[in-house]
Chain A
Amino acid sequence: MTRTASPVEPTRDAALVSELAAPAASPAIEAVGLTRTFGRRAALRDLTFQVRSSECLALFGPNGAGKTTLLRVLAGLLRPTRGKARVAGVDLPGGGESRAVVGLISHQTMLYAALTALENVEFSARLYGVPSPAEAARRALERMRLAERADSPVRSLSRGMQQRVSIARAIVHDPRVVLLDEPYTGLDEAGASALSDALLSLRSAGAALVLVTHHLSEGLALATHTAIMRDGQFVQHEARGTVAVEAYRDAYREVVGR
């Protein structure tokens, strides 16, 4: 594993920029010089990276590093201040065209408590124009091992079950890009296993994943690439390789400085 305490190297940036110019096999996610500020504070600074189909980029970093901001930009919820970001070949903010291929999962469930699990997932399916939305919603809930609670109001479900409904909501339209912000929060073993299975299945079907987590073992289990963020920058970005979790944890502490 190679590590650096500085942002991504200029030579690598140049290589990525030239790749962006090439028409062939465009990555699912690409960013060049991506910057996002809130007032004077820069939450993202000059990020340049790519995530291709069937790849999973695990993003680690301390609180306030800019991980969630990056996901919100890629999800179309925030506009980049400078630089370029592209999802499924569409420049952000790209309107409905880019959002249609993205699934967003957060530690907040983003569900309506008064509606049933099925109604929540079906509502999402309809927003994405999924054919036979009720059937698709039932299939997504089955995938998350929640078929028997499909007709229960979300407010009556445990936190872990709500999180699984939220994941079913986010994957009901078979997204090409899945953005995950601490998705394992509140999940029990069965829920975590169902989520990992679903994510692996999406990845093998060609989806690109960006996974933000504080849990190195969960992130590394799914990742094909890893990045460590600090102060809005990638201080390390590399292919996953075969490094053990403990070795990566040591490296993480060294890079983050805690």
Chain B
Amino acid sequence: MDAFEAFFWRYERDILGYLWRLTGDEQAAYDLSQETFVRAWQHFETLQQYEQPRAWLFRVASNLGINHLRGRSRRGEQTAATEDIQNIVALGGDPAHHLAESDAIHRILGGLPPKQRAAVVLCDVYGLTSAEAAAALGLSHGSLKMSLWRGRERFRQEYQREGGAE
């Protein structure tokens, strides 16, 4: 358990943050992160041999996150708004500005199709190469690059419309 706990603390911020950005749903982010690490526990013996266990974790988290979004889409639910801001760690500076900015980013990100959203977050937040992100999302490299570019382009346009990056 000690080794697994060390493993958990090493990677949980990445996985929780990824699923938070991917789902836009705080409860789902916690729940799916929990599921990801339970699966990691189930495969821990093998996982310890991997050169890049983080890639494995991102892959499992992506599958869970995208399945969750598909299920939500089929049930007609909308992306959750950023409501429970008390549990969000506020950044320095003007909290109101940060929260408004954060809400806008959340909304824009939530407007992207799931795989575009996942591609953008994996590459631009967590620094995966496009080949690594393709593996995490089970896409061909070409499809991933197209999703990534489309996602970046759409995010940029919406972000500018919201007044960001001026």
Tell me whether A and B are bound partners: no
Residues of A within 8 A of B (CB): none
Residues of B within 8 A of A (CB): none
